Amino acid sequence: MADDTDVRSSVWEESLLVEPDWICDQIKRNCSDLAIVDMRGHVRTKTDEAGVQTAEYIGARDEYLQAHIPGAVYIDWTTDIVDTLDPVPAQVAKGRQISELFSRLGIGKSTWIVAYDAHPAMQFATRLWWVCRYFGCDNVRVLNGGWLRWLEEGRPVTTDIPERDPRRTFTALANSKWIASTSDVMKVIGRQNVCIIDARDADQFSGRVRRGKRGGHIPGAIHLPREAIFDSPGQLKGPAALREVISAAGIPVDEHNTTMDEHRIIAYCNGGVAATSVLFALSMLGYSNLSNYDGSWNEWNLDDSLPVETA
């Protein structure tokens, strides 16, 4: 087991991202306080000639079984951290389910978690990051570049399924500041100290492509597609470039190029997953007043009484 001081003196507390070298070092140290979590999955879409899009949410446990980072456990973003009884797709699971999942994986309150996936916007890894923050776990980071970078650099892989310490338990305590409901969003539309961010692509934002019975976006939403914050697949832009992107989108920064935490930011997408990539990037820059509209367009589009803009 690695010494706590050695781990904490690394980049762990300096960034929400960790590099492959750091993980390799922890693997060599056989750090039992570290949980590496494979979050690979897919969203497969089809769009017809009328611009109506359907989406299939898929886990990738089979890919994990074929090869993964040594010591990694697998969490299926479509079932393990989702309330499968909720009629709105991909809604976050209740605290009891998260407590049981983490405890079964040997993840305790003090365990350090590193998530990775193979998505170019690392949205499944950041989804776990957001779930952890929502349920009171701050010790969570994301692998910079994810699985694709890990393979490109020739890092070690395995098919071995690790045994986690069953004595470690986790109790999920929801922090409501990290989540927004439909009524929360309705209440803040038009407020100057609140930014609503749409993380979807331009066609969905404009309404040219619709997923559900209505297309368009929440009135007053700022369009910041998740792809705009990445330099290459799974690797975020640097801090200066990120600030330029978010400033150009219309998200407040002050004259010293730092963040304005008195502004509340609510991000959404279709299912509250891609939105977490944007929230993660903003958190990297020091924004703290962040919420995920988990229902997102999957929920908003269904209610004809809710306003919609197209452009």
Give the predicted TM-score (pTM) of the model.
Answer: 0.93
The neighbouring-strand residues paired with 73 are 37
| Encoded tokens for 249 | 């989108």
Q: Comparing 4-174 with 177-300, is the CATH topology the same?
A: yes
The neighbouring-strand residues paired with 44 are 56
Q: In CATH, which of 3.30.450.20, 3.10.150.10, 1.10.620.20, 3.40.250.10 is domain 4-174?
A: 3.40.250.10
Q: Supply the pLDDT for residue 31.
A: 83
Asked whether the beta carbons of 175 and 134 are under 8 A apart, the reply is yes
Pick from 104, 128, 130, 103: which is nearest to 116 by CA?
Answer: 128
Left if phi > 0, otherwise alpha if psi is -120 to 50, otherwise beta: which for 231? Answer: alpha
Q: Supply the pLDDT for residue 181.
A: 98
Sites in the chain below the pLDDT cut of 50: 1-13
Asked whether the beta carbons of 164 and 232 are under 8 A apart, the reply is no
Place of tokens 């479509």: 78
Q: Is 279 helix (H, G, I), strand (E, B) or coil?
A: helix
Q: Supply the pLDDT for residue 166.
A: 78
For the chain, the structural domain boundaries read 4-174, 177-300
Q: What b-and-e string marks burial along 240-264, b requiring 16 or more CB atoms within 10 Å of the CB?
A: eebbebbeebebbbeeeeebeeebb
Give, as one character, the DSSP assignment of residue 91: P
Question: What is the rounded CA–CA span in Å between residue 5 and residue 219?
Answer: 48
pLDDT tens sequence across 44-67 = 999 999 999 999 999 999 999 999
Q: Which CATH superfamily is domain 177-300 in?
A: Rhodanese-like domain (3.40.250.10)
Average pLDDT value for the chain: 92
Q: Supply the pLDDT for residue 13.
A: 42
Question: What is the rounded CA–CA span in Å between residue 132 and residue 142?
Answer: 12
